[in-house]
Amino acid sequence: MNRTFLAAAVATALAVAGTADAETLRWARAGDSLTLDPHAQNEGPTHTLAHQMYEGLLQRDMSGEIIPSLATDWAVTDDPTVWRFNLREGVSFHGGQEFTADDVVFSFNRAQKPTSAMKELLASVAEIRKVDDLTVEIVTEGPNPLLPANLTNLFIMDEGWTMQNDSEEPQDIANGGDNFAARNTNGTGAYILDSRVVDERTVLQANPDYWGMGEFPLEVSEIVFTPIQSAATRIAALLSGEVDFIQDVPVQDLARVDQSDGLKISNAPQNRVIFFGMNQGADDLETDDIEGENPFAKVEVRQAMNMAIDREAIKRVVMRDQSDPTGVIMPPFVNGWNETLDAVPEGDATVAKEMIAAAGYPDGFTVQLDCPNDRYINDEAICQAVVGMLGQAGITVNLDSKPKAQHFPLIQNRTTDFYMLGWGVPTFDSEYVFNFLVHSASDERGTWNATGYTDTALDEKIVSLASETDTAVRDATVNEIWEQVQADVLYLPVHNQILNWGMKEGIDFAVQPEDQPHVKFLSYSN
């Protein structure tokens, strides 16, 4: 009793301190949120803005750890296909409505509708049911030990508000859908929408009734979010003091920002790995000069290529030290990662050349590399560097760079021989990587695997992960799969990207590995 009183007193004191000391955070990044409807787009900047206003049952904090949000705790019940979530008491939406289990059930059902962009993340959910006002159970098709990791961007809306405003279907972007929820919000989050002009300016005000008072710093009382597309202008706006905090700092400007008085750069490894894929399944490649066979089909060639890429040189020259060279296609936070897998292969062009010659290509061969030029940090420059490195190993690479809108369909349609791809792992678990990049290409899985690699036994192992509840067994399977991926050189990993945020001196804000700044965690050091 006493303790509760104390906590309440501290919370009130903090709340008072927070309002007395009104701080506006002017924040800029390259792109705007696409919609305010929390289930209509599955996209980084859209989720990031939504996170300030809406909340899920749980969320990732600034270090990427899962922490409670609208649920206070959760666990698998005796039945391994049922998860039980206990909900937070006394939470209300911005409009004053009380938060209950009905809202959770409603929001999950909404996120599973055909027009929802979040439905794939809930593909394993068979049913969600209310136990009582503050308890829900999620029933999955088969055990799903990783369910919570799929829920970090799954926002809860108020049932009454959404129904009243005819927004029970998520905004149907493809079919000209426009709804109330795409332009208005009613979440439980730390900030309330004040005004918004798309692509121009979004203003949020601190929620005076936020349940997290005292749990989070909550030192920002107003957020003014402005997309600034041109990198030079974004930097200029930070240098001239017109904004306080920017994301998407171009690597060539990092030093300049860091050296400016009153500004600093924070960085951290990003949840995104960059790598190359090779079409090793085809009988013959479209773009090579070897008739009737596919040089990529030979593992020696792939090993040699892996050797020929000098990741340290790419880091130094192309990335200005802003990358974390890796030998495996997953970032370090992912379950399944270890240092042995991550070890970068020794680069040696001479040995690589000999290996390619020994594999039956004494004169090397020619192939085309497809590369995006507007998707990853310095993507085209990395490809150019790799063209040179493979050239030394005897492989003549013709580079074809194009915008992402033209590049990704090549991978989707599997009409590329050699391509660059970057991958983030929102669930922070290897299974996600395997499902999309390692499993044989099929309608459901392997959708981003354009390597033509198929191995039925491996596919079975991958599928088994989804329902394996024994952590030790599961981890062992994960490791087995990785060892095969590494031994077969399925991909040529390059590096993990490093994220940089630029901000005013005096702002304490750790870089979040998913590039999602949650402003409620921001504090000022003076």
List 28's β-bridge partners, or say none. Answer: 226, 246
Residue 180 near another protein by CB under 8 A: no
Give the separation between CA 345 and CA 389, rounded to whole angstroms. Answer: 14
Closer CB to another protein, residue 236 or residue 299? 236
Structure tokens belonging to residue 44: 């980084």
Q: Which stretch binds another protein (CB under 8 A): 1-9, 73-81, 197-205, 277-285?
A: 197-205
Give the separation between CA 125 and CA 57, rounded to whole angstroms. Answer: 15
Residues 6 or more apart from 342 whose CB is under 8 A from it? 326, 327, 328, 332
The strand pair at 245-246 and 263-278 is best described as: unpaired
Measure the CA angle with vertex 27, ends 23 and 31; round to 5°: 160
Closer CB to another protein, residue 216 or residue 408? 408
Residue 403 near another protein by CB under 8 A: yes
The strand pair at 222-227 and 191-197 is best described as: unpaired
Return the residues of window 253-282 that contact another protein according to CB under 8 A. none
Closer CB to another protein, residue 240 or residue 526? 240
Residue 184 near another protein by CB under 8 A: no
What is the smallest separation between the CB atom of 234 and another protein, expressed in angstroms?
Answer: 8
373 contacts 329 by C-beta, under 8 angstroms? no
What is the smallest separation between the CB atom of 240 and another protein, expressed in angstroms?
Answer: 5
For CA atoms 469, 73, 191, 243, give the dihedral sign. Answer: negative
Residues 6 or more apart from 122 whose CB is under 8 A from it? 108, 111, 112, 150, 154
List 398's β-bridge partners, or say none. Answer: 368
Structure tokens belonging to residue 333: 């936070």
Q: Which of 21, 79, 178, 286 binds another protein (CB under 8 A)?
A: 178
Residue 374 near another protein by CB under 8 A: yes
Residue 141 near another protein by CB under 8 A: no
Closest CA to 2 of 185, 417, 10: 10
Residue 489 near another protein by CB under 8 A: no
What backbone torsions phi and psi does residue 511 show, to the nearest 5 degrees?
-75, 130
What backbone torsions phi and psi does residue 356 show, to the nearest 5 degrees?
-65, -40
Binding mask 428-457 for another protein (x = CB under 8 A): --------x------xx--xx---------
Q: Which of 25, 40, 319, 466 binds another protein (CB under 8 A)?
A: 40
Q: Which of 2, 4, 176, 292 binds another protein (CB under 8 A)?
A: 176
Question: Can you spell out the DSSP letters for 159-198?
Answer: HHHHHHTT--SPP-GGGT---GGGT----SSSEEEEEEET
Residue 96 near another protein by CB under 8 A: no
Residues 6 or more apart from 228 whose CB is under 8 A from it? 28, 29, 30, 234, 237, 243, 246
Measure the CA angle with vertex 15, ends 13 and 21; round to 5°: 100
Q: Which stretch binds another protein (CB under 8 A): 40-48, 130-138, 296-304, 321-329?
A: 40-48
Closer CB to another protein, residue 100 or residue 279? 279
Residues 6 or more apart from 97 whose CB is under 8 A from it? 158, 160, 161, 186
Residue 366 near another protein by CB under 8 A: no
Give the separation between CA 525 and CA 145, rounded to whole angstroms. Answer: 40
Closer CB to another protein, residue 42 or residue 97? 42
What is the smallest separation between the CB atom of 347 and another protein, expressed in angstroms?
Answer: 30
Query: If residue 11 lies in a helix (H) or strand (E), which one and from where to where?
Result: helix 2-20
Binding mask 209-248 for another protein (x = CB under 8 A): -----------------xxxxx-xx--xx-xxxx------
Closer CB to another protein, residue 69 or residue 115? 115
Closer CB to another protein, residue 333 or residue 408? 408
Give the separation between CA 48 and CA 52, rounded to whole angstroms. Answer: 7
Residue 43 near another protein by CB under 8 A: yes
What is the smallest separation between the CB atom of 46 and another protein, expressed in angstroms?
Answer: 10
Closest CA to 424 of 43, 125, 65: 43
Residue 35 near another protein by CB under 8 A: yes
Closer CB to another protein, residue 246 or residue 390? 246
Closer CB to another protein, residue 17 or residue 405? 405
What is the smallest separation between the CB atom of 443 and another protein, expressed in angstroms?
Answer: 5
List 233's β-bridge partners, or say none. Answer: none
What is the smallest separation between the CB atom of 354 and another protein, expressed in angstroms?
Answer: 38
Closer CB to another protein, residue 336 or residue 446? 446
Query: If residue 130 lies in a helix (H) or strand (E), which one and from where to where?
Result: strand 125-132
List 325's β-bridge partners, or say none. Answer: 495
Q: Which of 84, 130, 201, 504 binds another protein (CB under 8 A)?
A: 201
Residue 89 near another protein by CB under 8 A: no
Residue 406 near another protein by CB under 8 A: yes
Q: Which of 124, 152, 171, 186 binds another protein (CB under 8 A)?
A: 171
What is the smallest separation between the CB atom of 23 and another protein, expressed in angstroms?
Answer: 21
Q: Which of 208, 388, 409, 506 binds another protein (CB under 8 A)?
A: 409
Q: Which of 402, 479, 488, 524 binds another protein (CB under 8 A)?
A: 402
Number of shown-chain residues binding another protein (CB under 8 A)? 53
- The Cβ of residue 410 has, within 10 Å, a number of other Cβ atoms equal to 17
Enter the DSSP assignment of 95: T
Q: Which residues bind another protein (CB under 8 A)?
A: 34-35, 40-43, 117, 120-121, 171-178, 182, 197-201, 226-230, 232-233, 236-237, 239-242, 374, 402-409, 412, 423-424, 436, 443-444, 447-448
